[in-house]
Structure 1
Amino acid sequence: MPEQLSLLLPVWAGDQPDFLTEAFRSSVDDQTRQPDEVVIVRDGPVPAVLEERIAKLAVTSPVPVEVVALERNVGLGPALDAGLAACRYAVVARMDADDISLPHRFAVQMPIIEGGADIVGSGLLEFGEHPDDVVGTRTPPTEPRDIRTRARFAVPFNHPTVVYRRALVQSVGGYTNFPLMEDYLLWAKMIVAGAQVANLAEPLVKYRVGAGAYARRGGLRQLGVEVALQWRFRSMGFTTGRQFARNVLVRGGYRLVPERVRRIAYRNVIATYRG
């Protein structure tokens, strides 16, 4: 039986109005199966031009839009948790404010959720200056066993592509605040809770690779978050002692190498690991 869908889209001061419009239109107006509502989370104050664009999208949208306006910038994880609390429907799709959904995205993903999956992601295309400037592809594992295996070392879902059941996400505590890792922690908690997982190899989202995308994945601060995450995985029983040591060595080392090397390592090791 068809289910209703909430689209969850966070926005913060650094987002560009034109990119937001493109993300919104591609995920709502252009979809062959449109979401039934959109929840925009305004993560703290934003420039006037961006505020005006959010308001315009809300009043011109073909589906209802609720804007959750947070008084201060709390970060992606807590902002998404606030948005989840505002979603009216049991199934939620994620979208970022600078990416592009392909027109058949929800028409392909929703039947998988309706068939019993708790979460379904997809492949994505990375692009640079414009949507046709494709610079890379991220293809996730598609077999449930392979998804669970990969999750013990690297992120098993492309976050901007996922559709999931809100109740399960909230039952395991939601995203919480692990900068650049909040999604990975959530997927691990869902898998431990017995989530039925699925991925499509087909790219259903175009992901904007902006300046600094790989720089943000490195540095001592991000190393500290990485180690804390791995300790969390070990304490949950999500990883073994050997997996913990491997992850700290390989993923921790990845945080410390120069950005140029990090880019190569991500594409050839982190993003392609299959267990």
Structure 2
Amino acid sequence: MSHTPSPAAPSGDFSLLLPVYAGDTPEFLRLAFESSVNEQTLRPAAAVIVQDGPVPPALGAELDRIEAASPIPVTRVVLPENRGLTEALNRGLDACTHAVVARMDADDVSVPERFARQWELMAQGYDLVGTGMAEFESDPNVVASQRTPPVGAARIRDHARTHNPFNHPTMMYRVDALTRVGRYQPFGKMEDYWLGVRLIDAGARVENIPEPLLKYRVGAGAFARRGGWAEARTEWRLQGELRRMGFITRGQYLRNVVMKGAYRLMPAGLKRVLFRGLVGRGLPGDRA
């Protein structure tokens, strides 16, 4: 990390929301939490960690250590069985005591000024603020590619007609804005895209910071997980919902069904080449 603030670093009036499940790695979780709390120039006021089902002993021990050593209050929500990201996040939102929540995943790394930059915009009345991401495979300091999101309400809305305009792990948002549109709803691995579209369609004030304020871990098999018939069917179902609500035209629907369906069904190696080429030029794709 380029900067480590003093123990007296100020905190903003927002909660950190971090879901954890059995597949997460203790060392990655520690780095994710410390980069999002200890090393931030503006810390969250509190953290909510959602344990989505039983976890291995080593991961459980790391959760205990984090809770005991954290410089901010930590609430640990334990689900008796693995329920998936959608329910884990909704249960976490219920436990957050602040009106604004910052998302974080258990294997990513926050840049020290991430929350300070986002909080500055939230203080101006925005309902959701995302940021760019730098992808890495093993070393957070070795960037494999970068996802630069669209900036400005008009560009974000236009981009949302073909791609997810927000990088989900980077989101900071107002809980009441999510509540007005039904919070997270099950939609395969595209619950974040579906949430973003509903917020935009409802008139929420949204913005992105283009700089990569989060380092996103891309593990082995990430591009294979972005494909297959299940993902294609979810993609087609999402496009149908966007068409039904009038967010896209019939022509846009047909184009998206063909183009995005083809992407989901192509071999992982080819998908990696195309995805890295597009994202490297600033077109955000869907999270694996």
- TM-score w.r.t. the length of structure 2 is 0.92
Question: Does 2:49 correspond to 1:43?
Answer: no
Q: Is the 8 A contact 1:220 1:255 kept in 2?
A: yes
Letter in 1 for 2:118: Q
In the alignment, which residue of structure 2 is the partner of 1:211?
A: 220
In the alignment, which residue of structure 2 is the partner of 1:18?
A: 27
Match of 1:28 among 25, 31, 37: 37
How far did residue 273 of structure 1 move? 4.7
Question: Does 2:96 correspond to 1:87?
Answer: yes
Match of 1:106 among 100, 115, 118: 115
Question: Does 2:156 correspond to 1:128?
Answer: no
In the alignment, which residue of structure 1 is the partner of 2:65?
A: 56
How far did residue 267 of structure 1 move? 3.1
After superposing on structure 2, the runs of 4+ consecutive aligned residues of structure 1 that deviate more than 6 Å are: none
How far did residue 170 of structure 1 move? 1.7
Change (3 A) 1:22 1:135: same
How far did residue 269 of structure 1 move? 4.4
RMSD: 1.5
Q: C-alpha separation between the residues in 1 aligned to 2:154 and 2:148? A: 16
Q: Secondary structure at the match of 2:184?
A: coil
Q: C-alpha separation between the residues in 1 aligned to 2:138 and 2:117? A: 27
How far did residue 116 of structure 1 move? 1.3
How far did residue 223 of structure 1 move? 1.0
In the alignment, which residue of structure 1 is the partner of 2:8?
A: none
Give per-residue Cα distances to partners, 1:102-137, cap 9 Å, x unaligned: 111111110101101111111111111211121111
Q: Report the more deviating stretch, 259-268 or 40-49.
A: 259-268
How far did residue 143 of structure 1 move? 1.8
Match of 1:264 among 262, 267, 273: 273
Q: Is the 8 A contact 1:76 1:179 kept in 2?
A: no
Q: C-alpha separation between the residues in 1 aligned to 2:251 and 2:267? A: 26
Q: C-alpha separation between the residues in 1 aligned to 2:76 and 2:216? A: 23
Q: C-alpha separation between the residues in 2 aligned to 1:21 and 1:196? A: 33
Q: Is the 8 A contact 2:149 2:283 kept in 1?
A: no
Q: Secondary structure at the match of 1:26?
A: helix
Q: C-alpha separation between the residues in 2 aligned to 1:116 and 1:135? A: 34
Unaligned stretches of 5+ in structure 1? none
Query: Percent of counterpart pairs with the same letter?
Result: 49
In the alignment, which residue of structure 1 is the partner of 2:253?
A: 244
